[in-house]
Amino acid sequence: MILRSLEIENFRIFQKSEFEFGERLNVVYGPNGQGKTTLLEAISVTCLTKSFRTRQDTDLIRHGQTFFRVVAHFRDDMGVERTVEIRFDRSSGKRILLDRSRVISAAEHVGTFPVVVLSPDDDEITMGPPERRRRFINIVLSQLDRSYLALLQEYVRVLKQRNAILQEARESRFGLSKKVEPWNQKFFQIGREITNRRARFVEALNLKAAPILSELTTGAESLEIRYEPSFRPEWDSYEKFSAFLDENLNLEIVRGTSLFGPHRDEVLFLLNGVELRRFGSRGQHRSCLLALKIAEYRMLLEGKGESPIFLLDDVYGEIDEFRERALNDYFGELRQVFITSHQRDIKFNISHDLMQKIHYIHMDMANLASQEEVFEP
């Protein structure tokens, strides 16, 4: 799939801008603070309905405005032109309009235009807290699996409802067991389903990423990705789960929150049998992340039958010889790539055809200012 052009309105520093893109490598260059990352962010919003930089959609609205709007024109691998418009309004929320005619939900949309993002923030996937790994899995799995996002949204809803009951129980336990029981049942049903899908996904991810890491390190490192679900395997029926919850209900009431479920899942990355997060070197973290991202790309490509777009934010400032070689080895298989860079000329040597057709997008104050409305309050 190719992103051909993008219209942006009231999105962070952009007032109203239009961009055209090249079919292979797009280099977005200019000094910092001129909207390079924001352009990539707007692209990710058209694919994921969410930014890779913030969970708060209101953060994306330009200062003093009430809404933002992004319109992307894609051409899929079959050659069909597709359009998606995402509009977020402070008061009425988000609206996704596909092909100018059909209003769809986020759960329906995500995965239609697959995307892989690699930003400095992604270091947290291997280094940060468990929620960063769950988020990584959620983003890939939501794109791969048509019903996963809806399932996840429903889970979050049930979790909030259940937590509300637990918090209320701190005041009064009157009728508590009767009240919480049906929520437990739904919680188990959805939680089990999410756990199963994550387990299958992590297994597939491992199969894809391990050989890549092995190649990257010329066989020196072997990767194992291990899913550690909060739901124990022995809870194979609701009765068993329910009995366990009953035993731990007091603890949950004291904490005022649900202590068991997919929102507590962990994923471990083991390098040569040693936990990467605790013992890994910076280089090991980076090669692992790169292997994950290439694996993500390949899984989406195979799973969707559509080549994802690849967004590479600001990693070039710190490119080293290792990554240069890695990019050289793997970039050839990517279809359309967007990278941000300080300079126009990227300071590394990539031989394949991706480098032959570079489309440059210059971002600077003048460029932005020309699109700015002159307005003094």
Contacts with another protein, residue ranges (CB under 8 A) = 105, 107, 150, 154, 157-158, 160-162, 164-165, 168, 175, 178-179, 181-183, 185-186, 190
211: tokens are: 């050989």
The whole-angstrom separation of Cα 201 and Cα 295 is 12
| Contact (Cβ atoms closer than 8 angstroms) between residue 34 and residue 12 | no
Q: Which CA distances in Å does 368 have to 12, 14, 162, 280, 362?
A: 12, 7, 48, 42, 10
Cross-strand pairs, 14: 11
Give whichever of 36 and 109 is closer to another protein, judged by the CB atom. 109
Rounded CA separation 180/176 (Å) = 6
Task: Judge whether 42 and 11 are in contact, CB under 8 Å.
Answer: yes
State in angstroms the smallest separation of the CB of 147 from another protein: 9
368 CB contacts (<8 Å, ≥6 apart)?
13, 14, 17, 34, 35
Closer Cβ to another protein, 86 or 169, answer by number:
169
User: Order of strands across the sheet with 274-275?
Assistant: 223-228, 266-271, 274-275
How far apart are CB 107 and another protein at their closest, in Å?
8
Minimal distance in Å, beta carbon 337 to another protein? 35
Give whichever of 108 and 364 is closer to another protein, judged by the CB atom.
108
Instruction: Give the residue among 107, 11, 97 at the shortest CA–CA distance from 53.
Output: 11
Q: For residues 19 and 366, give the distance between their C-alpha atoms in angstroms, rounded to a whole number.
A: 16
When the beta carbons of 5 and 167 are compared against another protein, the nearer one is 167
Q: How far is the CB of 134 from another protein (least distance, A)?
A: 20
Please say whether the beta carbons of 13 and 35 come within 8 A: yes
Nearer to another protein by C-beta: 182 or 219? 182
Nearest residue (CB) to another protein, 183 versus 316:
183
- Least gap, CB of 180 to another protein (angstroms): 9
Instruction: Give CA–CA dist 204/89, Å, rounded.
Output: 38
Tokens of 83: 């359009």
Q: How near is the Cβ of 158 to another protein at its closest, in Å?
A: 5
Nearer to another protein, 105 or 257 (CB): 105
Least spacing, CB of residue 170 vs another protein, in Å: 13
Per the document, the length of the chain is: 377
Tell me how far CA of residue 233 lies from CA of 37, 102, 226, 228, in angstroms.
42, 42, 14, 10
* CB of 187 or CB of 269, closer to another protein: 187
Rounded to a whole number of angstroms, the minimum distance from the CB of residue 252 to another protein is 14
Cα 254 → chain centroid: 33
Residue number with CB closer to another protein (157 or 226): 157
CB 313 within 8 Å of CB 118:
yes
Cβ 231 to another protein, closest distance in Å? 18
Q: Dig out the tokens for 359 from the structure.
A: 């489309």
Question: Considering just the CA atoms, what is the radius of gyration of the chain in Å?
Answer: 23
Output 82 or 186, the one with its CB closest to another protein: 186
Least distance from another protein to the Cβ atom of residue 166, Å = 9
